[in-house]
A and B are shown apart, each in its own frame.
Chain A
Amino acid sequence: MRIYADNAATTRMSRTAIDAMMPFIEEYYGNPSSLYAFGQQAREAVEEARATVAGCIGADPREIIFTSGGSEADNQAILSAAAIGRKAGKLHIISDQIEHHAVLHTLKKLEKEGFSVTYLPVGTDGIVRVEDVEAAITENTCLVTIMYANNEIGTIQPIREIGEICRKKNILFHTDAVQAVGHLPIDVNAESIDMLSASAHKFHGPKGVGFLYAKKGLKLVNLIEGGAQERGKRAGTENVPGIVAMAAALKESVGHMEETAKAVAALRDRLIAGLSEIPHSALNGDAVKRLPSNVSFCFEGIEGESLLLLLDDKGICASSGSACTSGSLDPSHVLLAIGRVHDVAHGSLRLTLGDGATEEEADYIIRSVKEVVDYLRGFSPVWRDLCNGKGTFIL
């Protein structure tokens, strides 16, 4: 048995996406840049996909650039805004402390190149304060980049409000919407979004493909030089099967969004209620303003990697923000940003449910997590000290 509860890491490709993709692997393998009809068939499919993707977020097809995924889109968006800023002598960028590394590392690079970046804090609820964004804006600000929804704790940011402020002040606004596209309703115009990044494999499309939405007239810089694909903004022969499948996956996800979100959120809340029964545990991030699929907890007295390995033995695929799973000595920057101290942040668990999850699976996860946490606490010296009054419970 396997219960896949790591849909924020990646999702299973939908049947619709696979079916849409196959003809462009098996049969219509022409190069969209070729002028003969066989190539133009592929071109047509790419442009149709562009229109579909654009329609799903309220954009114009000419505003969509296909990329290799969310990270590339984030890089291109931020570097483009920086180039525009540099030309105008504006070298200040506003972001926040819980962004994905695709954003944070790009910003670090810009800092080395003379930009100053304000990393806004978030509340213990994991949400950026709109008034903080407004207060951080200076006459030198060229970009505000705030993620739509957080990948670790699932919190949804006040994108529309931030977009409005940026629009009013004539500052570019980018949002890393990798976790949101296909799961939350998005309208780039209504939300005053200038640039948006997305990744297909987070909404049942294939890996290795994504897109960048960039508002008409916004001058993008190339990350990849070469041919004139993507209106000269992203060289390289188009990933035709990937692009076609992404569009099919997105169309399907958006088509079922409301009912899927409702069903998944009900299971999410069942999980949250069940896991909250574990003593000295806490939900990470706001309970309401969060992705329908995201459950993130910290458990005091245990370490996340052990928890994941034992859940894996029980057939449950999950994730953690502990240092041991982040590949560094520090636990997740997101958990630290919402005020979880190191000791507690090491004991984190992220469960992100898929569309087909059931109540039985949720209950099995709850039972299993309870069992494993109990077992690990049974020989944790930290837990023993806490129980013997030699330390103070934090949660």
Chain B
Amino acid sequence: MSLYSEKVMDHFRNPRNVGVIEDADGVGEVGNAKCGDIMKIYLKIEDDVITDVKFETFGCGSAIASSSMATELIKGKPVAEAMALTNKAVAEALDGLPAYKMHCSVLAEEAIKKALEDYYAKHPDKHMPE
């Protein structure tokens, strides 16, 4: 018996894409320490494709697993696809999260959107996909 699914525990114990991209094209940070969750996503983007992604997270098991899974879901994908990633997709890919932990997947979605917004803000020649 465990609080979380096997998938969540796997991504929590062995988080993928942990770290920092020093020369990131876009960075997004969401949450606050007061609430106990902060996620930071770093993106490397070339020709509208996410070529690299890293994350740092301060938070509970599901927050760390959600960040890890979200980065996996967008790595190597076109920017438009990353923009369309929903928290539901993150949670489903983790074989579900307890109801009171769903906000962790929301944070992951928001962190990616924020990093992409940062990228477009820094690259006015590019246009954010709808």
Contact = CB atoms under 8 A, between A and B. Distances in A.
Interface of B is mostly: mixed
B85 interface: no
A343 B19 contact: no
A386 to B, nearest CB: 10
B36 A381 contact: no
Given A323-B35, A379-B18, A383-B58, 13 more contacts: A303-B37, A303-B63, A309-B61, A323-B36, A327-B100, A329-B35, A343-B33, A378-B18, A379-B15, A379-B19, A380-B57, A381-B29, A382-B58
B38 A306 contact: no
B128 to A, nearest CB: 24
Contact of A306 (B12, B55, B101): B12
A243 B19 CA distance: 55
Contact of B61 (A302, A305, A378): A305
B126 interface: no
Contacts of B29: 381
A342 B39 CA distance: 17
B40 interface: yes
Most-contacted residue by chain B among A313, A342, A379, A383 (CB, 10 A): A379
Interface residues of A, number: 26
Q: Which 4 A-B pairs have the closest CB atoms?
A: A305-B60, A343-B33, A324-B60, A346-B36
B34 A381 contact: no
Interface of A: 301-306, 309-310, 313, 322-324, 327, 329, 331, 341-343, 346, 378-384
A378 B58 CA distance: 10
Nearest to B34: A342
Contacts of B96: none
Given A301-B58, A324-B60, A382 B38 contact: yes
Interface residues of B, number: 27
Contacts of A383: 58
B59 interface: yes
B122 interface: no
A305 B3 CA distance: 11
A382 B33 contact: yes
Interface of B: 9, 12-13, 15, 18-20, 29, 33-40, 55-61, 63-64, 100-101
A306 B59 contact: yes
Contacts of B56: 379-381, 384
Given A324-B36, A381-B40, A313 B60 contact: no
B57 to A, nearest CB: 7
B12 A342 contact: no
Given A309-B12, A379-B15, A303 B60 contact: yes
B111 to A, nearest CB: 10
A350 B1 CA distance: 22
Contact of B33 (A309, A327, A342): A342
B34 A303 contact: no
Given A322-B60, A384-B56, A303 B36 contact: yes
A379 B100 contact: no
B5 to A, nearest CB: 13
B91 to A, nearest CB: 16
A124 B39 CA distance: 31
A380 B58 contact: yes
Contacts of B19: 379
B18 A306 contact: no
Contact of A303 (B13, B15, B18, B59): B59
